[in-house]
Amino acid sequence: MYKFSKSFQKRRFQKSKFYRGRKHYLNPTQYINKTASFPTGNDIAIKNSFNDFRIDPILLKNIFSRGYRVPTPIQDQAIQPILEGKDVIGIAETGSGKTAAFLIPIINKILHNRQEKVLIIVPTRELAVQINDDLKSLSKFLSVYSSLCIGGASINRQIFELRNNPHIVIGTPGRIKDLFNRNFLHLKNFRNIVLDEADRMVDIGFLPEIKFLISRLSQDRQSLFFSATVSREVDGIINSFVTNPVTISVKSTETPVSIKQDVIRVRGTEEKIAKLKELLRRQEFKKVLIFGRTKHGVDRLSKRLFLQGFSVNSIHGNKSQNQRLRVLMQFKNNQLQILVATDIAARGLDIPDVSHVINFDEPASQTDYIHRIGRTGRAQKKGFALTFVS
């Protein structure tokens, strides 16, 4: 029997109805890494302690109260140049601690000059909410005020908050552009700008908005740019955004070494469902994040698991912001065993103690896979990632 070449099989797969717009063909072997080890900080030597940075004593106390003891590699290398007012490009994988890497020096800057205004632009509402929560925790007792400008929430309330002249505005590109066009957000007043998860903003179609917003910013500014990967489009944003930047890269491997990865081979949807239910009933599957490809598929799977007696809910782009935040909070607080989600939950979210990530539907790209499984194996803990393959 004639055996087709691998390249022919790949081309045939890409033309088939099962491809469904996936960006790249992913060989199932990319989902396998059966040994997991504790993270070692990417084998990068940490040169500083938090006490070495010249920051406010109360801010330092808040850092320690968050449980931070030693800076992560991105924090170790980024905090000082940001404190010095330099532009910074930070390339770091998910779960690297980059949010605190820019929030700590930003808060300290505001404490030295209460007229400073900071704009933080992120791809998703959930990430914006999380950064705002982290900001409140790090700036406790310091009277640093913020406004959260995201879609799915009352724009009138956001306009009211902006009129109170907050120090920091955190938002998604679409809502920030909307507020700018309505003349409630004056971009030239901001002298400190952060683009976080820039690669994700490109992936989900925010490139035109990002270019628009950058063109309206003051030239006299400090620009901080954080991304997990640097594609051609992201590189174009960098060139228009930063000036004489300090570039920091703390990525040593594509997939986190703390995550044990494997595949589960199935034939058809019913066998996939049956094997999923079998897994979820095991004692070690204590807190499970399941990724699906489509909004309707995620809802269907969640309802099916609920009818089988599992503690489960779902989030995706069709749910309201309040619904998504409520479900995320339930999952974070261990009120749910299982969260079923689209890739909306794959970036930036810091959900503690996720024991397993399951890719019920395969990711569209290797980058998406890396970010999905990065929801487990965080904070010096081991994690497990399983991917269903037909």
86 shares its domain with 47 = yes
- Residue pLDDT, tens place only, 257-306: 678 999 999 999 999 999 999 999 999 999 999 999 999 999 999 999 99
Residue 2: inside a domain, yes or no?
no
Whether 13 and 22 have beta carbons less than 8 Å apart is answered as no
Tokens of 305: 């698991």
218 and 112: one domain? yes
**What pLDDT is recorded for position 350?**
78
- Round to whole Å and give the CA distance between 51 and 179: 39
Domain assignment of residue 216, yes or no: yes
Structural contact between residues 108 and 56, judged by C-beta atoms closer than 8 angstroms: yes
pLDDT tens per residue across all 390 residues of the chain: 334 444 444 444 444 433 444 445 577 777 878 765 554 444 578 999 999 999 999 999 999 999 888 999 999 999 999 999 999 999 987 667 899 999 999 999 999 999 999 999 999 888 999 999 999 999 999 999 999 999 988 999 999 999 999 999 999 999 999 999 999 999 999 999 999 988 888 877 899 999 999 999 999 999 999 987 788 888 889 999 999 999 999 865 556 667 899 999 999 999 999 999 999 999 999 999 999 999 999 999 999 999 999 999 999 988 887 888 899 999 999 999 999 999 888 876 778 899 999 999 999 888 788 889 988 887 667 899 999 998
Say if residue 59 is exposed, middle or buried (CB neighbours under 10 Å; 0-12, 13-18, 19+): buried
pLDDT, mean over the chain: 88
Cα angle 384, 374, 247 (rounded to 5 degrees) comes to 145
- Look up the CATH number of the domain holding residue 343: 3.40.50.300
| Residue 5 token pair | 């070449």
- pLDDT attached to residue 14: 42
- Considering the domain architecture, whether residues 207 and 285 belong to the same structural domain is answered as no
Quote the domain boundaries for residue 330: 7-36+254-389
Distance between CA atoms of residues 12 and 365, nearest Å: 18
Q: Is 1 among the domain residues? A: no
Cα 169 to Cα 284: distance, rounded to the nearest angstrom? 41
